C-alpha cells in the first residue's frame, strides 16, 4: 500500500463524517496544536445565572469528595472549581482501561501537566449507567492484549450505579479460570503488585462499588506517568453524573422551573415526550429504547429497569415488574430518589447539569452530536413555554469541545503503531515527560485523523445509510504514519 492510498481512504472517511455529523466533522479541520486546543476549552463566556446556580452543585460535589476521601480532601487534593464549570462527561465509571478514554483528562487541561507544583484536581462527571461488560470494558481490563477479569459473565449486565461494595481479586479470578499462565512472569508480578495496591486502599468510607471506583481511579491515575512527574500531577476524581443529578433534583423538584414542569406538568411533559422522541439517549418506546425520565431499580439484581409513562404513572416496560409502578409526583420522586430506588436518565441528567445549571459539557464523538440535537429541541421547546427566558440561558451553553478520539498513549513496535490500554501504559512505567511535551506541540487534527476508523465506526452505525458505508482497508497504524509524513 502507498501513503497516497492510505491518505485517500482517510479523507473519504472524514468526508462522510463531515456530511452526516457536521458537529463532529469540523474537528478534523482544526489547525492548531493539541496544547492550543486544550487552552481554548476553558475560554468561554460565563453567565451570572449559571455561576449562581452552580454553587449548589459545587456543594454537592464537595460533600461527595469529603465523604469518600475524608474531611481534609478538598484541601489535600486541591479541589478548586471554576466560576462556571466545564467538566468532562465522557468517562465511564470503571477502572482505567480503554485507549479512547484514557487521554481525555490530559486533553481537557494540558496546563496542569509537567508543572513544578502540584496542580488543581480534575473532577469528572462519569457515567454510572453502564454495565461491567461494555464497549470500553469487557468485564474487566486489558493488559498487553489479554483480558483481566473483574466480573463474571453472570454479572455482565449489572448496572454500575447499583453494584454493591465488592472485592477486586482479579488474581484469584484468573487462577479459577485457569488463565494465569497466559501472562508471563513480569506481567504476573505487575498484576500482583496492582492488586496489592488496590487491596491496601481504605474503602471504609465507601458505601458501594461506585465509591470504590472513585478511589481506585484516583489512586491508579498517577501510574499512567513516569515516576518523576507524578507528585505534581492533578488528581482525577470521578463522581457519577447519576448521583450528583439525583441529589440536585431533590431541591429542583421543590421549585417551579422547566425541569420540574417537564416531569410533573402533564401537558408540558407530553410535549417533551413527543419533541425529544428518537434522539439518541432519549426514548423510543416502539423500539424499547431509553426510559421516560428515570430508571427503576430491579427488585432482585443490581441493575435498572426502563419505565414508560401511562397517564400519570411510570410503569416498568417489562410487565413482570409492573408492581414497581408509581405515580409521577413530587413526593414519590423525592422518596424514591432518597431510597435509591430510581435514578435519572441521561436525558434528565443533561437537562439538569448542562441546561439548567449550565455546566459546559466536554464531550465525546457521540455526545457532541446528540447533545447538540437535544439542545436545539430545548431551544425550540422553551420558546413556546412559560420559561422562554431559559432558552436565552441555554443558548450560551456551547457544546463545542470534544475530548475523545485522540490516542496519546501509543506503542511503537516492529509491526507498526499500536494504541495502548491503561494498564499497558502502567506496565511500561508510564508516559515520559518528553513524550508529553512533543505531543502537546503536535497538530490536533493530524492526531485526531489517526483515529478516524473508530470515529467512523460510531458515526456509520448511527447516521450513515447502509448503501453509502465504507469498509476501511487500513487501520490505526497506517493512519498514524501519516502524522509524520
> What percent of the chain has pLDDT above 90?
95
Q: What is the mean pLDDT of the chain?
A: 96
* Cell numbers representing residue 17 in the block: 463524517
What pLDDT is recorded for position 412?
86
- The mean pLDDT of 287-295, rounded to a whole number, is 97
Question: pLDDT digits over 68-94, tens only?
Answer: 999 999 999 999 999 999 999 999 999
Q: What angle do CA 246, 100, 37 make, to 5 degrees?
A: 90
The residue among 15, 23, 7 whose CA lies nearest residue 364 is: 23
What pLDDT is recorded for position 135?
83
The residue among 152, 157, 155, 158 whose CA lies nearest residue 172 is: 152
Question: pLDDT digits over 103-147, tens only?
Answer: 999 999 999 999 999 999 999 999 999 999 888 898 899 999 999
Examine the pLDDT at 364 and tell me if it is beyond 90: yes
- The mean pLDDT of 454-481, rounded to a whole number, is 94
Examine the pLDDT at 484 and tell me if it is beyond 90: no
What pLDDT is recorded for position 441?
97
SS (HEC) of the chain: CCHHHHHHHHHHHHHHHHHHCHHHHHHHHCCCEHHHHHHHHCCCCCCHHHHHHHHHHHHHHHHHHHHHHCCCHHHHCCCCCCCCCEEECCCECCCCCCCCCCCHHHHCCHHHCCCCCCCCCEEEEEECCCCCEECCEECEEEECCEEEECCCHHHCCCCHHHCCCCCCCHHHHHHHCCCHHHCCHHHHHHHHHHHHHHHHCCCCCCCCHHHHHHHHHHHHHHHHECHHHCCCCCCEEEEEHHHHHHHHHHHHCCCCCHHHHHHHCHHHHHHHHHHHCCCCCCEEHHHCEECCCEEEECCCCCCEECEEEECCEEEECCHHHHHHCEECCHHHHHHHHHHCCEEECHHHHHHHHHHHCCCEEEECCCHHHHHHHHHHHHHHHHHCCCCHHHHHHHHCCCCCCECCCCCCCEEEECCEEEECCHHHHHHCCCECHHHHHHHHCCEHHHHHHCCHHHHHHHHHHHCCCHHHCCCCCCCHHHHHHHCCC
Cα four-point dihedral sign 186, 150, 363, 120: negative
What pLDDT is recorded for position 485?
67
CB atoms within 10 A of CB 186: 10
Question: pLDDT digits over 403-451, tens only?
Answer: 999 999 999 888 889 999 999 999 999 999 999 999 999 999 999 999 9
How far is it, in rounded angstroms, from Cα 387 to Cα 322? 34
The residues with which 125 forms a beta bridge, in sequence order, are 239
What pLDDT is recorded for position 30?
96
Give the chain's end-to-end CA distance (angstroms, integer): 15
- The mean pLDDT of 377-401, rounded to a whole number, is 95
Amino acid at each position: 500500500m502507498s501513503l497516497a492510498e492510505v491518505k485517500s481512504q482517510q479523507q473519504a472517511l472524514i468526508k462522510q463524517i463531515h456530511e452526516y455529523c457536521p458537529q463532529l466533522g469540523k474537528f478534523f479541520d482544526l489547525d492548531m496544536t493539541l496544547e492550543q486546543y486544550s487552552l481554548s476549552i476553558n475560554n468561554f463566556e460565563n453567565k451570572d445565572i449559571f455561576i449562581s446556580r452552580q454553587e449548589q452543585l459545587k456543594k454537592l460535589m464537595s460533600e461527595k469528595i469529603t465523604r469518600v476521601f475524608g474531611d481534609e480532601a478538598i484541601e489535600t487534593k486541591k479541589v478548586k472549581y471554576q466560576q462556571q464549570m466545564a467538566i468532562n462527561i465522557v468517562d465511564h465509571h470503571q477502572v482505567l482501561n480503554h485507549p479512547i478514554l484514557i487521554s481525555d483528562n490530559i486533553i481537557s487541561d494540558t496546563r496542569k501537566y509537567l508543572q513544578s507544583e502540584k496542580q488543581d484536581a480534575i473532577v469528572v462527571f462519569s457515567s454510572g449507567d453502564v454495565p461491567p461488560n461494555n464497549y470500553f470494558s469487557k468485564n474487566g481490563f486489558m493488559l498487553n492484549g489479554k483480558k483481566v477479569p473483574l466480573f463474571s459473565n453472570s454479572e455482565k449486565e449489572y448496572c454500575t450505579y447499583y453494584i454493591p461494595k465488592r472485592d477486586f481479586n482479579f488474581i484469584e479470578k484468573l487462577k479459577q479460570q485457569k488463565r494465569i499462565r497466559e501472562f508471563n512472569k513480569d506481567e504476573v508480578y505487575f498484576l500482583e503488585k496492582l492488586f496489592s495496591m488496590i487491596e491496601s486502599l481504605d474503602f471504609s468510607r465507601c458505601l458501594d462499588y461506585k465509591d470504590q471506583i472513585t478511589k481506585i481511579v484516583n489512586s491508579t491515575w498517577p501510574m499512567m506517568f513516569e515516576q518523576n512527574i507524578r507528585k505534581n500531577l492533578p488528581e482525577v476524581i470521578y463522581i457519577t453524573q447519576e448521583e450528583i443529578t439525583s441529589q440536585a433534583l431533590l431541591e429542583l423538584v421543590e421549585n417551579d422551573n422547566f425541569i420540574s414542569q417537564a416531569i410533573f406538568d402533564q401537558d408540558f411533559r407530553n410535549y417533551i415526550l413527543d419533541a425529544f422522541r428518537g434522539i439518541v439517549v432519549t426514548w423510543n418506546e416502539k423500539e424499547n429504547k431509553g426510559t421516560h425520565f428515570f430508571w427503576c431499580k430491579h427488585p432482585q439484581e443490581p441493575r435498572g429497569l426502563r419505565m414508560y409513562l401511562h397517564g400519570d404513572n411510570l410503569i416498568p416496560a417489562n410487565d413482570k415488574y409492573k408492581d414497581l409502578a408509581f405515580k409521577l409526583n413530587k413526593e414519590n420522586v423525592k422518596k424514591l430518589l432518597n431510597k435509591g430506588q430510581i435514578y435519572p436518565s441521561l436525558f434528565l441528567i443533561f437537562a439538569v447539569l448542562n441546561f439548567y445549571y449550565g455546566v459546559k459539557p466536554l464531550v465525546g464523538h457521540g455526545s457532541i452530536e446528540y447533545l447538540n440535537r437535544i439542545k436545539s429541541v430545548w431551544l425550540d421547546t422553551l420558546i413556546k413555554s412559560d420559561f422562554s427566558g431559559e432558552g436565552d440561558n441555554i443558548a450560551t451553553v456551547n457544546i463545542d469541545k470534544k475530548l475523545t478520539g485522540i490516542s496519546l498513549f501509543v506503542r511503537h513496535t516492529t509491526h507498526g503503531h499500536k494504541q495502548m490500554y491503561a494498564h499497558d501504559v502502567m506496565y511500561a512505567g508510564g508516559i515520559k515527560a518528553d513524550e508529553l511535551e512533543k505531543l502537546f506541540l503536535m497538530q490536533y487534527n493530524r492526531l485526531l485523523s489517526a483515529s478516524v476508523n473508530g470515529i467512523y465506526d460510531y458515526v456509520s452505525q448511527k447516521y450513515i445509510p447502509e448503501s453509502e458505508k465504507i469498509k476501511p482497508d487500513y487501520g490505526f497504524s497506517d493512519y498514524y504514519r501519516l502524522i509524520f509524513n
